[in-house]
Amino acid sequence: MAYSREQLIEAVSAQMPDKRWKHTLGVMESSITLAEQYGADPVRAETAAILHDVAKYWPVDRMREVIEQNGLSLELLKHDKQLWHAEVGAFVAERDYGITDAEVLDAIRFHTSGREGMGLLEKVVCLADYIEPGRDFPGVEQIRRQARNSLEEGLIAGFDSTISLLLAKRRIVFPLTVLARNDLVRILEDKI
């Protein structure tokens, strides 16, 4: 059964604290704006944004179980648990909420890490997650400025920010994020 927009909002908002729901509303707004600016479907962007953090507040053991029992990326289990909710969220969006649009599912799945060969909808939702109005971290204004001119430039700035933060904390950088960043740099270099 496919859920209506209102049913998705009701179901997802009930699974997270008010502060995270406010973030989700910001990602919804930013996704629509970016989709309209860069030629993606705003309805599909909003759907992915509604669901992007659906599993964010699930217990770690529950996410691990979903990953292990459903053939999801076991590689994720070797990395920061903050990454798990995206893969689990895409699975849940399909299983529990009837989302069958592969691009919407990928936008949910890769909104945290990015990946090589990101599609337009993936770029929109990933960047919206970085720049939504409630975000306040060092460098966010630079990412917002870049986003006004180019999805790729905005995402590179976002990934650079994430990678720099992880390096400063001596944390492991998820390989997909590095690959995504490098792929976007190559895309821009090829345009020159």
pLDDT digits (tens, 9 = 90+) for 144-167: 999 999 999 999 999 999 999 999
One DSSP character per residue, the chain reads -PPPHHHHHHHHHTTS-HHHHHHHHHHHHHHHHHHHHHT--HHHHHHHHHHTTTTTTS-HHHHHHHHHHTT--GGGGGS-GGGHHHHHHHHHHHHHH----HHHHHHHHTTTT--TT--HHHHHHHHHHHH-TT---TTHHHHHHHHHH-HHHHHHHHHHHHHHHHHHTTPPPPHHHHHHHHHHHHHHHHH-
The whole-model pTM stands at 0.96
- pLDDT-based confidence at residue 123 (cuts at 50, 70, 90): very high
pLDDT computed for residue 191 by the predictor = 84
pLDDT computed for residue 2 by the predictor = 75
- pLDDT-based confidence at residue 192 (cuts at 50, 70, 90): confident
